[in-house]
């Protein structure tokens, strides 16, 4: 008779361990493939936004403003660059609903501003998301849309956070391709980008609305600011339609702008690093200097859910992944349109 040999306990444990290692390797490989695909889709989103920007430029002679405001206090601004791009983004349903002659917070636009546009979300971060404005409306006793659909991309404002309505007050060497304008003011023209459109940021990633994207307390930078409405650390968020920015009493909004520095000039540029651990909110502090020398204005930095950096759209329509290890000088240089810097590849 032949005796049947069974696995010993040690052999069984070895087999289980090998299977566990193989499953771990497989899951890791699948995750890497998924992230690579999500990063590619994110780049495609930015390419579509770049195409829309150039079509807008062809039609209007300039890029749109990042924010359009009829008020000197941009906490009550009227519309964003995204709103002006709607006709160039094949968003016919939103375009038909939106009243371009009314501000985003007008009741006529309540339905339109709540529409989530898939193109505006980075797949590595989320596929949807909105700002619930009910509590804010109740707090301020104002009429606001019930929801404002979110976004994960920001217009590059340069290396300076000053927020005057007249963007020309900001020194040329720190201005970005997008700023705040009055309704009758033109945006930046390609000919004004003397640093070269292929080496100047137009837009970058601004992940928002998901756990871990906490806002830093500007008075205690190593701590997260607490949202009094929830009692929890505030998560940064912004909307494609909500043109307004936060104020010092509500320092947790991100806005449609991103910067690489808060001042951008010597002796202290006050750099805003990519993917910082606790994120800077956008805050209108009524800086009268026009160049944020007082440090009262703040604008959020760029951030993503991709490992090691962010995707950026350049003013020529190209999209590249920039590592967060980039030097502060080069990072600032890529964000400005007329800085005159020489960038070594």
> In terms of Cα–Cα distance, which of 136, 329, 299, 332 is closest to 218?
299
Any residues with CB less than 8 A from the CB of 336 and at least 6 apart, and which? 158, 159, 173, 174, 175, 176, 195, 200, 264
Q: Is the dihedral of CA 224, 252, 279, 123 positive or negative?
A: positive
User: In the chain, count of helices (H) and strands (E)?
Assistant: 6, 16
Residues counted in the chain: 345
| Cα 279 to Cα 173: distance, rounded to the nearest angstrom | 25
Please tell me the predicted confidence (pLDDT) of residue 199.
96
pTM, entire model? 0.90
Residue 152 · residue 120 · CB < 8 Å: yes
Residue with the two structure tokens 């009268």 = 288
| Cα 128 to Cα 123: distance, rounded to the nearest angstrom | 9
pLDDT by 10s per residue, the chain, length 345: 555 566 677 767 777 778 877 776 666 655 665 767 899 999 999 999 999 999 999 999 999 999 999 988 888 899 999 999 999 998 888 999 999 999 999 999 999 999 999 999 999 999 999 999 988 888 778 899 999 999 999 999 999 999 988 777 899 999 999 999 999 888 999 999 999 999 999 999 999 999 999 999 999 989 999 988 889 999 999 999 999 898 888 898 999 999 999 999 999 999 999 999 999 999 999 988 889 999 999 999 999 999 999 999 999 999 999 999 999 999 999 999 998 876 765
């Amino acid at each position: 008779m032949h005796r049947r040999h069974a696995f010993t306990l040690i052999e069984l444990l070895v087999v289980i361990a090998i299977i566990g290692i193989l499953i771990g390797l497989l899951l890791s490989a699948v995750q890497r493939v998924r992230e690579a695909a999500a990063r590619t889709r994110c780049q495609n989103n930015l390419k579509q936004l770049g195409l829309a920007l150039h079509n807008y430029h062809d039609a209007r002679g300039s890029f749109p403003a990042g924010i359009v405001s009829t008020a000197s206090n941009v906490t009550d601004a009227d519309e964003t660059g995204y709103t002006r791009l709607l006709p160039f983004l094949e968003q016919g349903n939103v375009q038909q609903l939106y009243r371009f002659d009314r501000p985003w917070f007008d009741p006529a636009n309540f339905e339109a501003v709540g529409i989530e546009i898939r193109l505006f979300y980075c797949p590595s971060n989320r596929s949807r998301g909105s700002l619930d404005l009910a509590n804010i409306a109740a707090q301020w006793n104002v009429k606001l849309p019930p929801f404002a659909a979110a976004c994960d991309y920001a217009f590059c404002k340069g290396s300076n956070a000053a927020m005057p309505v007249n963007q020309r007050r900001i020194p040329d060497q720190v201005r970005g391709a997008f700023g705040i304008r009055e309704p009758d003011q033109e945006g930046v023209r390609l000919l004004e980008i003397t640093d070269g459109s292929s080496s100047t940021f137009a837009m970058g990633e601004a992940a928002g609305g998901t756990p871990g994207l906490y806002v830093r307390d500007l008075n205690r930078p190593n701590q997260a600011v607490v949202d009094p409405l929830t009692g929890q650390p505030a998560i940064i968020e912004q909307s494609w339609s909500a043109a307004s920015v936060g104020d010092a009493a509500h320092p947790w909004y991100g806005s449609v702008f991103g910067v690489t520095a808060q001042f951008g000039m010597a002796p202290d540029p006050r750099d805003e690093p990519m993917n910082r651990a606790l994120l800077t909110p956008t805050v209108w502090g009524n800086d009268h200097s026009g160049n944020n020398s007082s440090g009262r204005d703040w604008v959020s930095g760029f951030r993503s859910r991709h490992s090691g950096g962010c995707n950026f759209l350049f003013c020529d329509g190209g999209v590249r992944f920039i590592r967060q290890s980039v030097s502060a000088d080069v990072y600032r240089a890529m964000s400005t349109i007329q800085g005159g810097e020489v960038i070594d590849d």
